């Protein structure tokens, strides 16, 4: 049985993580929908690529502005929040598990449960803690991630009118293991992604604290290394950008596994047939051969535009919610 203090800390981390994840996901949902549409489109996603002689077929989406206009015209404003319910069911437990496990690992590594002591952990320990926390959160919330992808990528007319119908169809056609389609590339992706995100976030916070201390000492002020909310936002923004830029190809592979066999309308282009890829390596190879390097980075622009503020909002919301909850329960 854990000490009451530890249980209280776990509750704070889980609640703050869930609230932060829910806020971040809802705010950035439109960019996530556009990103998914790009990632699951087999045809080129840029207009210049269509000029190549070896490319045939019509692309549904050829740029962010064009995709935004098409989705709004065909599906209305709700189209930008398609799949948001399963996304929230995925993100909220994901961030709850992630921040809870992360705090436990950092407490073990630092020998202290105080957050101010965790910031001084080595970059290596910050990376490993973030990676392990990301893996635990991914396994715990993955089926909702798969359902979110299916609902966000299906377009109109809908293949699945509700999350329940998608869930039952997956169980019927692919079995229980179908709920974890694409888990392998996701875990391979989440290790460097979560590690980089939390590792660089801690690094940027240390640099910011050092800069604040240096600036206040030069101004002959009563020195403080406290970080403002705007500085926290910038640290989270930079961390999200670095992590997503490195790991995006594996996210594309994951999305292809998640929607294989989805019978969506032909106007959205070629379908990803059932068992189109035998494993993660085969998917990377096929995408590279057929779609080129650009295929591995489909959706990178909306992905970074989404991930950077999403990371920033998540970290800032977590820090503030955590402080607020701590003051409430103590």
pLDDT at 236: 83
pLDDT tens for the 330 residues of the chain, in order: 344 477 888 888 889 889 988 888 888 889 888 888 888 888 887 755 544 544 445 788 888 899 999 999 998 998 898 888 888 888 888 889 988 998 888 888 888 777 777 777 888 888 888 899 989 999 988 898 888 888 888 777 888 888 889 899 989 988 888 899 888 888 888 888 888 888 888 889 888 888 888 887 776 655 566 788 888 888 888 888 888 888 888 888 888 888 888 887 788 777 878 778 888 889 889 998 988 888 888 888 888 877 777 777 888 888 888 888 888 776
Q: How far is 136 from 138, CA to CA, in rounded Å? A: 6
The DSSP annotation for 240-252 comes to: HHHHHHHHHHHHH
* pTM higher than the cut 0.75: no
* pLDDT (0 to 100) of residue 88: 87
**Cβ of 233: how many Cβ atoms within 10 Å?**
16
Rounded CA gap, 204 and 186, in Å? 26
Give just the sign of the alpha carbon dihedral 105, 18, 191, 135: positive
How many angstroms separate the CA atoms of 247 and 263, rounded?
Answer: 28
Query: How close are the terminal C-alpha atoms of the chain, in Å?
Result: 20
Write down the pLDDT at residue 171.
92
The pLDDT score that the predictor gives to residue 106 is 87
Rounded Cα distance between 101 and 192, Å, is: 17
Contact 133, 105 (CB under 8 A): yes
Predicted local distance difference test score (pLDDT) of residue 57: 56
Contact (CB, 8 A) for 21 and 95: yes
Distances in whole angstroms, Cα of residue 64 to Cα of each of 32, 34, 50, 153, 292: 11, 7, 16, 15, 20
pLDDT for the residue 228: 83
Local structure of residue 225 (DSSP, 8 states): -
Q: Tell me the torsion sign for CA atoms 98, 101, 106, 112.
A: positive
Q: What integer pLDDT is reported at residue 1 of this predicted model?
A: 38
CA distance 136 to 150: 23
| Cα 267 from Cα 66, distance rounded (Å) | 15
Q: State the Cα–Cα distance between residues 146 and 148, nearest whole angstrom.
A: 5
Question: Cβ–Cβ contacts within 10 Å for residue 248, how many?
Answer: 21
| Cα 141 from Cα 93, distance rounded (Å) | 6
Q: Shortest CA distance to 162 belongs to which of 90, 258, 83, 271?
A: 83
């Amino acid at each position: 049985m854990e000490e009451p203090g530890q249980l209280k800390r776990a509750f704070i981390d889980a609640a703050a993580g869930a609230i932060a994840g829910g806020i971040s996901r809802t705010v950035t949902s439109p960019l996530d929908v556009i990103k998914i549409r790009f990632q699951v489109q087999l045809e080129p996603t840029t207009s210049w690529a269509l000029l190549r002689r070896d490319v045939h077929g019509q692309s549904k989406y050829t740029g962010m502005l064009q995709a935004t206009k098409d989705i709004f015209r065909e599906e209305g404003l709700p189209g930008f929040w398609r799949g948001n319910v399963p996304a929230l069911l995925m993100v909220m437990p994901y961030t709850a598990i992630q921040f809870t496990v992360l705090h436990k690992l950092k407490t073990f590594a630092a020998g202290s449960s105080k957050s101010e002591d965790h910031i001084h952990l080595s970059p290596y320990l910050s990376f490993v803690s973030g990676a392990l926390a990301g893996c635990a959160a991914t396994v715990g919330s993955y089926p909702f991630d798969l359902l979110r992808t299916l609902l966000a990528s299906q377009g109109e007319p809908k293949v699945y009118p509700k999350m329940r119908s998608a869930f039952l169809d997956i169980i019927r056609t692919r079995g229980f293991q179908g709920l974890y389609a694409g888990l392998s590339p996701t875990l391979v992706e989440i290790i460097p992604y979560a590690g980089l995100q939390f590792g660089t976030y801690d690094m940027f916070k240390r640099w910011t604290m050092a800069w604040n201390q240096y600036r206040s000492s030069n101004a002959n002020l009563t020195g403080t290394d406290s970080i403002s909310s705007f500085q926290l936002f910038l640290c989270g923004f930079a961390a999200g950008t670095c992590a997503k830029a490195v790991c995006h190809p594996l996210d594309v592979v994951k999305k292809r596994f998640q929607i294989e066999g989805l019978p969506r309308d032909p106007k959205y282009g070629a379908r990803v047939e059932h068992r189109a890829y035998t494993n993660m390596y085969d998917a990377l190879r096929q995408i590279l051969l057929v779609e080129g390097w650009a295929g591995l980075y489909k959706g990178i622009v909306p992905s970074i535009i989404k991930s950077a503020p999403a990371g920033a909002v998540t970290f800032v919301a977590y820090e503030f919610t955590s402080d607020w909850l701590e003051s409430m329960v103590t």
